[in-house]
């Protein structure tokens, strides 16, 4: 195999992806993430020869990306709140909007030293683990209906040396006999009618059960309405992420179900209604 520099390999990959109408920027992303480089390191290495085994892996990554496989699944991890988290096809890829949900919780509960928190549908565990990392005195329970997802979340918690109470089960069933101070969830909220609008990489590779919900995507929020009263403390709080078109419907649903609570809608950085807070 002929020798090739990192820069030449990057040029080939960018051209290859452009020809196939894929994001050419992914070539640089995949190279840096695979080699755990920052941009400055990449620039310094561009003229250096690329070892054969590194080049072969990079080409394999590029071919997979061209077939719509998400870059995070190719590399096997994604960063969330500054920490690296393992991701697999059994878990959703963490999104920036979920970082905003975590930031909202931390901001609104900054002075509370002792809370029992349950993260429902934990997936990779990013919400539960980040809250525990930044609020070590909080007791954090992470629930998921998928054994495979919980396995990934447990690995992520162990890699950060954090003690999370992981439980297998549907919604709040695993904590039905307990009282909690804070419930957080980023549940499936995409309507099955929106299938055609989804990116091809999402449709092919991300777990459908973690994405789609019945009744125009509102199914899980309706189920939460029935389960929350038996586990939430009197002065407890609830935080949800939802689709940007669902805010009004969910706000009305929860205000009707919990008339003594204050139901607030928060926007994401793009200006879309994205998060519900009940307190």
pLDDT in tens, 50-79: 999 999 999 999 999 999 999 999 999 999
Q: Where is 175: in which H helix or E strand?
A: none
Q: What's the rounded Cα separation, in Å, for the pair 74 and 83? A: 18
pLDDT at residue 1 in the model: 47
pLDDT at residue 192 in the model: 64
Binding-site residue set for S-adenosyl-L-methionine? 121-125, 144, 186
Binding-site residue set? 121-125, 144, 186-189
Q: What's the rounded Cα separation, in Å, for the pair 278 and 268? A: 17
Quick one: average pLDDT of 156-169? 98
Radius of gyration, CA atoms only, the chain? 21
pLDDT at residue 93 in the model: 92
pTM of the model as a whole: 0.90
Q: What percent of the chain has pLDDT over 70?
A: 91
Q: What's the rounded Cα separation, in Å, for the pair 244 and 265? A: 11
Q: Residues of 164-193 as b/e, b for ≥16 C-beta within 10 angstroms?
A: bbbeeeebbebbeeeebbbbbbbbbbbbee
User: pLDDT averaged over the chain?
Assistant: 92
pLDDT in tens, 165-181: 999 999 999 999 999 99
Contact between 80 and 156 under an 8 Å Cβ cutoff? The reply is no
Q: Which residues contact 277 (CB under 8 A, 6 or more apart)?
A: 104, 108, 237, 238, 239, 263, 264, 265, 266
Secondary structure class of 214 (helix, strand, coil): coil
pLDDT in tens, 18-41: 999 999 999 999 999 999 999 999
Q: Residues of 248-263 as b/e, b for ≥16 C-beta within 10 angstroms?
A: eebbebbeebbeebeb
Q: How far apart are the first and last CA of the chain?
A: 63
Alpha helices (H) along the chain: 6-19, 25-35, 39-45, 52-66, 71-75, 96-108, 126-134, 147-159, 200-205, 219-227, 247-257
* Residue 212 confidence (pLDDT) above 80: no
pLDDT at residue 3 in the model: 73
Binding-site residue set for substrate? 186-189
Q: Which residues contact 274 (CB under 8 A, 6 or more apart)?
A: 97, 100, 101, 241, 242, 244, 247, 266, 267, 268
Contact between 183 and 118 under an 8 Å Cβ cutoff? The reply is yes
What's the CATH code, domain 89-278? 3.40.50.150
pLDDT in tens, 240-257: 999 877 888 899 999 999
pLDDT in tens, 71-127: 999 999 999 999 999 999 999 999 999 999 999 999 999 999 999 999 999 999 999
């Amino acid at each position: 195999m002929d020798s090739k520099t990192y820069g030449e390999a990057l040029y080939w990959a960018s051209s290859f992806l452009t020809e196939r109408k894929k994001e050419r920027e992914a070539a640089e992303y995949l190279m840096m993430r695979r080699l755990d480089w920052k941009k400055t390191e990449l620039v310094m290495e561009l003229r250096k020869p690329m070892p054969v085994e590194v080049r072969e892996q990079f080409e394999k990554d590029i071919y997979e990306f061209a077939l719509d496989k998400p870059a995070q699944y190719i590399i096997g991890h994604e960063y969330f709140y500054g920490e690296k988290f393992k991701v697999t096809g059994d878990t959703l890829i963490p999104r920036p909007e979920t970082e905003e949900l975590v930031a909202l919780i931390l901001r609104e509960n900054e002075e509370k030293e002792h809370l029992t928190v349950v993260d429902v549908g934990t997936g990779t565990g990013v919400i539960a683990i980040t809250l525990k990392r930044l609020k070590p005195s909080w007791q954090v329970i992470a629930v998921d209906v998928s054994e495979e997802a919980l396995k990934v979340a447990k690995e992520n918690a162990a890699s950060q040396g954090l003690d999370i109470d992981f439980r297998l089960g549907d919604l709040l069933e695993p904590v039905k006999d307990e009282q909690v101070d804070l419930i957080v969830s980023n549940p499936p909220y995409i309507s099955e009618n929106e299938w055609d609008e989804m990116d091809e990489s999402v449709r092919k590779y991300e777990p459908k059960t973690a994405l789609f919900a019945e009744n125009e995507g509102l199914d899980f929020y309706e189920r939460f309405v029935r389960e929350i009263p038996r586990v939430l403390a009197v002065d407890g709080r609830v935080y949800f992420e939802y689709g940007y078109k669902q805010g009004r419907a969910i706000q009305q649903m929860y205000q009707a179900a919990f008339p003594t609570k204050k139901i607030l809608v928060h926007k994401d950085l793009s200006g879309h209604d994205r998060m519900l807070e009940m307190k």
